Structure 1
Amino acid sequence: MNTPQYNPPRAVNVDSKDPLEIDLVYNVRSCGTCKFFWPDNPLKQPYGPYPTFDFDSSIPKENKPEGSPEDYLWLKGKTREEAFPNGEVMDGCRKAPIMTIGINPNMTAFAPGLQGTSWAYPNFTSDDKTDAWTKYAYYYRYRSVYQEHLDLDFVKQYLLPEGQIIAEKDGQVMSAERTNQGPDYSIEVLYDGDSENTVIPLNRSTGTPRYVLLYNHYGPDNVFKKGDVIAARLNVPAGISTDVYQEQIGYYEQFVPTLKMFSDFLKAKGMKDADIQIGEDVGQLDMVACASPHWNEDYLGNQEETIVNNCVSKNSWAIKQMVQTKPVVLYLVGESSWNMFRDAFDGLIDQKYPMPKYPKDGAFTLFKETIDDNNPCYFKFSTEIDGRKYELTTRLIVTPHFSYNTNFLPQFRMSGSDFDAFKKDYADCYAYFEQSKDIDIVPGEESEDYTAIQITSNTYQVFEELEKQFSDALKVLSPDYYNPHRQMAEVLEGLYNHGNLSYKEGESGEKGYLTRSEGACSFCVNDHWKFPLGCPYKKPEEPAPPVGFLKKVAAQIVAAGKTDQKKSS
């Protein structure tokens, strides 16, 4: 068996002699700094190999979604060798004035079940007179709220016969838990007539075709018949022409209601064609470029600190992109993302009354602290290098994690002890909450966790009832009321009202757009590639700093963050 090769070969500190936004393409895609993700022998990679696809041309022939479908046929592509996905650069326009940052890309294919079985990742080549770098740059420039999968029936053609798990009787899959990055895991099935689950181990070596589960471990798609294949090893070969589908990702979709509210706000201001979009007006970035299924030591080979140091500080991919983008506002997704960002750049975070290091209600406390216009939080840096000045001021907002829809329900929150007192002092209001079909009371999992009183429907009517029947209780509840989508939109509205964000109306019948952030950009039009849509914002025409200048700025930011952090510790 031949040892597979990484595509592209791993490299460190590639000097492309290009502007930073292009240089990141050549560096992030080929990065092999972290040996956990990229061991010298690809057969030792902890994750994958997963099905992959390629474009048939450097600029793909795409089907555009009509409206906002959950799933649609995107394009005709070609399978490539199964692999682990390369590191990711930012999704979207490089000069979008709004940015989000999470920890690292998700890894949907890792999860046992129907979705994970059909999932696929880009693996671009320069075969057939195409260019892999153009494909990679194009893919991330225009990615929005979708990721890719293959047709499940197509995938099933390539289940290996060896080691298949065949159902002995009718039954259902009950569990398929994976607790670490290891290639081995077990599933539990309950055969009809049995009183206990049957545990079925799925064992293999790294670098060999992985086991996939052909059912979900929850209803309704967890029921099988005698003789069905429950699980099998999968190896989708390279070179097969196939349909590639795009499916909406809940994490990306979480920002969409906020952007709809902001668009409506702009329309009310007279910008009738305002339609603020993920990918075009919002750039999506991660602190760590490579994917993992979860962010903790069990899934990172006990190398979390090394990975963070490599990606966030040593290579500083995210901060380099931020330096080039110069976003007006940055939404940090979840408490862990904030902690990682703060730990690296604490000395450059400016807030009159700093947030607590250990917030009582996690990301909700941080959210409340950062949306407060009376105590705004900023990332600030300025320098002068070789006589050229650089300044960056970005408003920071820490949000609840985008992956969980319940985080974004309108809700009141209070500590366990405060909630116990509330139940006694306002028993009639508590009784209303318990009886209402519009409200879920979700107690904290641990004693120190907060209780959430979530309004699942009819928010307006719930508030009407509270104001009418329980006004005293509402006064107690209101200070810790959250409506995250609405509050995130209010931040954008405030930035617009203060002139930080602006909207440029279209000329000669062209559509208007949210004004881009300051500075030149040649990501879409350069000596390597020219995307068909070009740059509608005329950024390539602006004077650019000398090649290497923004890298020096990023290096100073990393150094300043570390130095100031040590001084304050």
Structure 2
Amino acid sequence: MSNRIPLTDIELVDAVKSCTSCAWFWQGIKPYGPFPSFNWEEEFPEAIRNQPPQTNDPSFHEKTHTARAIGAEYIQPAVLRGCRKAPIMTVGINPNLSAFKPYDKGADFTYPWFDRNGSYAYYYRHASVFQERTNLEYMRKGIIKGTEIIAEADGRTKRMVRGMDHRWMEIPVQYADRDEETIYELGWVPEERAVVFAGDTFKKGDIVVAKTDPAKNTEMQLYAQAVGYYQRILPILNLLEKQMDIPEGSLEVGEDISMHDMIGCASPGWSDTYDIPQNRIANTCVKEKRFMFDQLIQSQPEILIIVSSSSLKMFCDGLDSFEASMDLTTKRPDSDEQRDVFDMMKETCLRKRYVSYPVNGKMVKTRIIVTPHFSYGSNFDNQSRFSVQAWEAFKNEYPGDYLTLKKANKIERETYNGYVPIDLKGDNDSIRDSVNPAAWQVLMGHHYEPQQLVADALYAEVEAGNLHYDNHTKHLKRVSGKCTFCVNDQWQFPEGCEYGKA
């Protein structure tokens, strides 16, 4: 058990923002970046606070405001997104590096860079479901002359390959006047960036791809891009609103739910696909620095939603002086194989599990709910799920029903962790009448409704008196304990604290 004194909210801002402890991220040739960056002249820009209304639309992409382009910078580590005293907090693995992809899905993502702690704190206090993008016109201003690959004829781009651990890219194109595809290669150094400017189709003379050095000291038009990971909780909040009988849209990301990560630095993913020393980074950020746990002690949320098995493992590894009311292992009890995260979701939604931790000599407890990863919308579709062994048994016992499901395209491919999802909406699924009743009972015994499960668990906390709607603020009531994040001796946000916690 550690005797270290947790950092305060204000200390966390400076500690996280300036952290360069992980040599893999910050020493030698940095693996990711730099990327187009911006900031504001004002310390507390109103544009940060005035974001578009939150939406479930994954394609939402709207022009918002302008900022000052400052060229290319490395992305600063991230702190908690949203109100520090929101009663619900989510925790994932680490921020996603959208700009890693140099083509249409990532080429124009841009990132704030702050030299003032107050501005950095203000940005993350008001962060919601959006991330900033600029546009290809801004990117064109930084093209390094002589590096352009110019289209030799009309044509179309094909699937590009970007090196996962090297600044290298292969760009196949199909010219209209040629039978065989033409393949270009491009490599670049950290001071440069490669950007694909051609869309699905292009004309002769267009720039297909070029190296860029982002323009500085110019006006950058920003766009709010909805991010699926941050949006994933919104349908669950909508279900909770109905159960609480409060106006739709009352509950919001950033106000009623804060969002954190076990690790502060961004990467394009967290898997063996990328050359990332996962254990070393997790050990430094989670076990040694303990930024997320210090924030948990400061925030003391009623509910902590742990997103994905990987996040849960990091959380378990860093518990230290925390105590859990359940075995939070991600392993199956009878083997070293991973438990299905859907089973952990059902267990923690239907049976209350807690993590307890000391705060000022008293034990505080927070309910734990485990969910699948927010990055993938299909994780929250209604579905039946079988282990490979259980699915083989079902096929052998109900071969005709297996063929019925297969012909109806209800059987999804196996997931990376060895489970077979079946696309079934529930008891009212249209295929029910075509399936043997005994087989249907087995399918429903393996059935999950993720959004409703989590919403019901949250509503159980309403019924228990732990979550309350405040008619004055039109949001959930804040948790107990003082908060100095928005008003302190280092900075004072213009709006102060909207919940009277300052």
Same fold (TM over 0.5): yes
Work out the number of aligned pairs and report it. Answer: 489
Gaps of 5+ in 2: none
Residues 58-73 of structure 1 correspond to what in structure 2 (within 5 A)? 58-62=43-47, 64-66=51-53, 68=55, 70-73=60-63
The alpha carbon displacement at 1:195 in A equals 5.4
> For the residues of structure 2 that align with 1:273 and 1:431, how far apart are their CA atoms?
42
Q: 1:167 to 1:464 in 2, by over 3 A?
A: closer
Give 3-state SS (helix, strand or coil) of 2:156's partner.
strand
The aligned amino acid for 1:210 is R
User: Paired residue for 2:31?
Assistant: 46
Q: Work out whether 1:397 is the aligned partner of 2:369.
A: yes
CA contact (8 A) 1:102 1:287 kept: yes
Q: 1:225 to 1:144 in 2, by over 3 A?
A: same
User: Paired residue for 1:226?
Assistant: 204
> For the residues of structure 2 that align with 1:107 and 1:393, how far apart are their CA atoms?
33
Q: 1:449 to 1:306 in 2, by over 3 A?
A: closer
The alpha carbon displacement at 1:222 in A equals 2.1
The aligned amino acid for 2:134 is L
> For the residues of structure 2 that align with 1:537 and 1:347, how far apart are their CA atoms?
30
Q: 1:29 aligns with which of 17, 29, 53?
A: 17
Q: Work out whether 1:412 is the aligned partner of 2:384.
A: yes
The alpha carbon displacement at 1:153 in A equals 2.1
User: Paired residue for 1:290?
Assistant: 265
Deviations 1:330-386 (A, max 9, x none): 11111111111112227745245665514555322322332231xx33212236xxx
> For the residues of structure 2 that align with 1:400 and 1:460, how far apart are their CA atoms?
19
CA contact (8 A) 2:313 2:329 kept: no
The aligned amino acid for 1:109 is A
CA contact (8 A) 2:287 2:317 kept: no
The alpha carbon displacement at 1:18 in A equals 12
Gaps of 5+ in 1: 1-16, 126-131, 216-220, 541-569
Q: Work out whether 1:74 is the aligned partner of 2:64.
A: yes
> For the residues of structure 2 that align with 1:23 and 1:347, how far apart are their CA atoms?
20
User: Paired residue for 1:310?
Assistant: 284
Identity %: 33
The aligned amino acid for 2:349 is I
User: Paired residue for 1:474?
Assistant: 440
User: Paired residue for 1:485?
Assistant: 451
The alpha carbon displacement at 1:498 in A equals 1.6
Q: 1:109 aligns with which of 99, 119, 128?
A: 99
CA contact (8 A) 1:266 1:274 kept: no
The alpha carbon displacement at 1:72 in A equals 1.7
The alpha carbon displacement at 1:428 in A equals 4.9
Q: 1:144 to 1:471 in 2, by over 3 A?
A: same
User: Paired residue for 1:11?
Assistant: none
User: Paired residue for 1:557?
Assistant: none
CA contact (8 A) 1:361 1:450 kept: no
Q: 2:295 aligns with which of 321, 329, 333?
A: 321
User: Paired residue for 1:567?
Assistant: none
Give 3-state SS (helix, strand or coil) of 1:442's partner.
coil
Q: Work out whether 1:367 is the aligned partner of 2:355.
A: no
> For the residues of structure 2 that align with 1:427 and 1:321, how far apart are their CA atoms?
52
Q: 1:442 aligns with which of 401, 404, 412?
A: 412
Give 3-state SS (helix, strand or coil) of 1:414's partner.
strand
User: Paired residue for 2:481?
Assistant: 519
Q: Work out whether 1:532 is the aligned partner of 2:494.
A: yes
After the TM superposition, which of the residue ranges 352-361 and 394-403 deviates more from structure 2? 352-361
> For the residues of structure 1 that align with 2:169 and 2:248, how far apart are their CA atoms?
51
> For the residues of structure 1 that align with 2:178 and 2:389, how far apart are their CA atoms?
44
> For the residues of structure 2 that align with 1:414 and 1:476, how far apart are their CA atoms?
10
Q: CA RMSD in A?
A: 2.7
Q: 1:66 to 1:287 in 2, by over 3 A?
A: closer
Residues 129-140 of structure 1 correspond to what in structure 2 (within 5 A)? 132-140=116-124
The aligned amino acid for 1:30 is S
CA contact (8 A) 2:54 2:252 kept: no
Give 3-state SS (helix, strand or coil) of 1:539's partner.
coil
User: Paired residue for 1:549?
Assistant: none
Give 3-state SS (helix, strand or coil) of 2:20's partner.
coil
Q: Work out whether 1:91 is the aligned partner of 2:81.
A: yes
